C-alpha cells in the first residue's frame, strides 16, 4: 500500500490528498483526557515512552489519518540545554526564568549527547512498530525563533513584545541564540529520525509577528542552518509558518520540501510563491460548525489546493473542546474527494 503522506511530500500523484491534524492527540479526545489523568502530569505523559506512544496512537485508532506525530512538546528538548520549565494544568508552558538579556544565553550550547531524550526515541520506536507501513510517522521540533519567543517571554503571548524588543536591542546576540538553537534542534530531529521518524516538521508558530525583512535577516539564516543539516537524512522537511502569509517569498529559497500554512493563507498562492508542497489549512474554528458546513468548507479548501503536492490539515492546532463530529465530517469530506 502506498504511503500517501510520503508520496505527496515528494510531489507524487496520489488517489486523494493525505490528511493529518495538527495537535491530533489532545484534550478534545476523551481517551486522551483519561490517559492524561492517569499520567498525573503532562511532562510524565511526554517522558514515559509507553504513555507517549499511546497518546500518539489514540487518534489513529479513531480516525483514518495518513500520519502520526510523536506526542511531545517543542519545549521538551530545551531541558537538554539546561532550561527548566513547567506545564501547569490547563495552561501553556511556564519557564522558571525568562532570558532577560544576552548574558543569560551567552553560555547556551547544544548538549554533547541527546541521551536525556531517550524516552522520545523509545516512544518513536514503539509507535513505528505499531503503525502499518501506509501511515507515516512525523518527528518535530520548535523553530529557533519560536523557541526564542518562549525563552524571552517565559510563557505564551499573543504579540511577543519582549522577543520583538530583544530582536531590535541585541540583533547580533539574538542571531547567535537562534543559530545555537538551530544547531541543537537539527541534532535533535536527526536523533528522532534515527529512532524511526520518517518526516520532520519544524514549528515556527510565531513567525508572523516579524516583518519580511527582519524574518529574512534574523531568522532565515538559522532556518537555513537547521534544514541544511537534515539534508543527508532523506526525510521530507516541513516548515509550519504560523501567521506567515507575508513570509512566503522569504522561505522560498530554504532547503525544505513542504510549507505548512495557516487558515489565512491562500493555498495556491503559497504553492506558487514557494514552489514547495503545501500543507493546511482549514481554520480550526470550522470544526465547530454543523457537519454539512464542515464538509462544505473542507471541499472548498480542496478546490483551492494544488492538485499535486498537497497535504490536507488544519491551519493551526485543533482546539481542546472541538466536537468529534466536526473532526469526522472534515475527514469524510477528504476521503470523498475527488
Ligand atoms: O498530536 C499532538 O498533540 C502532538 C504533540 C504536540 C505538538 C506537536 C504538543 C502537545 N505540542 C506540540 C507543539 C507545540 N507546543 C507548538 C507548535 C504548534 C502550535 O503552534 O500549536 C507550540 C507553540 C507549543 C507550546 C505549547 N505547549 C502550548 C501553546 C500555548 C502557549 O501558551 O503558547 C501549549 C498549550 C503546550 C502544552 C501542550 N503541548 C501538547 C499538549 C497536548 C499540550 C497541552 C497539555 C495538556 O492538555 O495535557
Tally the domains of the chain. 1
pLDDT value at residue 90: 74
pLDDT value at residue 53: 98
Give the mean pLDDT of the chain.
Answer: 97
Q: How far is the CA of 22 from the centre of ligand 1 (A)?
A: 10
Question: Mean per-residue pLDDT for 90-103?
Answer: 92
Bridging pattern class, strands 85-86 and 94-95: antiparallel
Question: Mean per-residue pLDDT for 34-50?
Answer: 96
pLDDT value at residue 94: 96
User: Does the CB atom of residue 42 touch ligand 1 within 6 A?
Assistant: yes
pLDDT value at residue 298: 98
Q: What atom of ligand 1 comes closest to residue 59's alpha carbon?
A: 1
Which residues are part of the catalytic machinery? 23, 27, 36, 73, 150
Structural domain of 191: 4-335
- Residue 338 clears pLDDT 80, i.e. is over it: no
pLDDT over 70 percentage in the chain: 100
Q: Which residues pair with 260 in a beta bridge?
A: 240, 279
Q: What atom of ligand 1 comes closest to residue 22's alpha carbon?
A: 1
pLDDT value at residue 66: 98
- Residue 1 clears pLDDT 90, i.e. is over it: no
Report residue 230 CA to chain centroid gap.
16
pLDDT value at residue 89: 82
Total Cβ atoms within 10 A of residue 228: 15
Question: Mean per-residue pLDDT for 264-292?
Answer: 98
Task: Please choose, from the candidates 16, 66, 23, the residue with its C-alpha nearest in 3D space to the C-alpha of residue 203.
Answer: 23
- H helix or E strand, kind and range, residue 69: strand 67-69
In the structure, what pLDDT confidence band is assigned to residue 337 with cuts at 50, 70 and 90?
confident
Q: Report the nearest-CA residue for atom 23 of ligand 1.
A: 205
Q: Which residues pair with 247 in a beta bridge?
A: none
CATH code for position 249: 3.20.20.210
Amino acid at each position: 500500500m502506498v504511503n500517501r503522506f510520503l508520496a505527496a511530500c515528494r510531489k507524487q500523484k496520489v488517489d486523494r490528498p493525505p490528511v493529518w491534524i495538527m495537535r491530533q492527540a489532545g484534550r478534545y479526545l476523551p481517551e486522551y483526557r483519561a490517559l492524561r489523568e492517569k499520567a498525573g502530569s503532562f511532562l510524565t505523559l511526554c517522558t514515559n515512552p509507553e504513555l507517549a506512544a499511546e497518546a500518539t496512537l489514540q487518534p489513529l485508532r479513531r480516525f483514518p489519518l495518513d500520519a502520526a506525530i510523536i506526542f511531545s512538546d517543542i519545549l521538551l528538548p530545551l531541558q537538554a540545554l539546561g532550561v527548566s520549565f513547567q506545564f501547569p494544568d490547563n495552561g501553556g508552558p511556564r519557564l522558571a526564568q525568562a532570558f532577560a538579556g544576552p548574558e543569560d544565553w551567552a553560555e547556551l550550547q547544544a548538549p554533547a549527547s541527546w541521551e536525556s531524550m531517550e524516552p522520545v526515541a523509545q516512544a518513536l520506536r514503539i509507535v513505528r512498530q505499531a503503525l502499518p507501513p501506509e501511515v507515516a510517522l512525523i518527528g518535530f521540533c520548535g523553530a529557533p525563533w519560536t523557541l526564542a519567543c518562549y525563552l524571552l517571554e517565559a510563557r505564551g503571548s499573543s504579540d511577543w513584545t519582549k522577543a520583538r524588543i530583544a530582536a531590535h536591542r541585541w540583533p547580533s546576540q539574538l542571531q547567535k541564540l537562534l543559530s545555537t538553537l538551530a544547531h541543537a534542534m537539527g541534532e535533535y530531529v536527526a536523533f528522532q529520525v534515527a529512532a524511526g521518524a520518517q518526516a520532520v516538521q519544524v514549528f515556527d508558530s510565531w513567525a508572523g509577528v516579524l516583518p519580511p525583512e527582519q524574518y529574512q535577516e534574523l531568522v532565515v539564516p538559522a532556518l537555513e542552518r537547521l534544514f541544511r543539516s537534515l539534508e543527508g537524512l532523506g526525510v521530507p522537511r516541513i516548515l509550519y509558518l504560523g501567521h506567515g502569509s507575508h513570509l512566503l517569498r522569504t522561505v522560498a529559497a530554504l532547503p525544505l520540501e513542504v510549507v505548512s500554512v495557516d487558515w489565512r493563507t491562500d493555498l495556491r498562492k503559497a504553492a506558487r510563491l514557494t514552489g514547495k508542497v503545501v500543507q493546511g489549512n482549514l481554520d480550526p474554528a470550522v470544526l465547530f460548525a454543523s457537519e454539512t458546513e464542515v464538509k462544505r468548507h473542507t471541499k472548498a479548501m480542496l478546490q483551492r489546493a494544488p492538485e499535486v503536492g498537497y497535504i490536507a490539515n488544519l491551519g493551526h492546532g485543533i482546539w481542546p473542546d472541538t466536537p468529534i463530529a466536526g473532526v469526522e465530517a472534515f475527514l469524510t469530506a477528504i476521503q470523498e474527494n475527488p
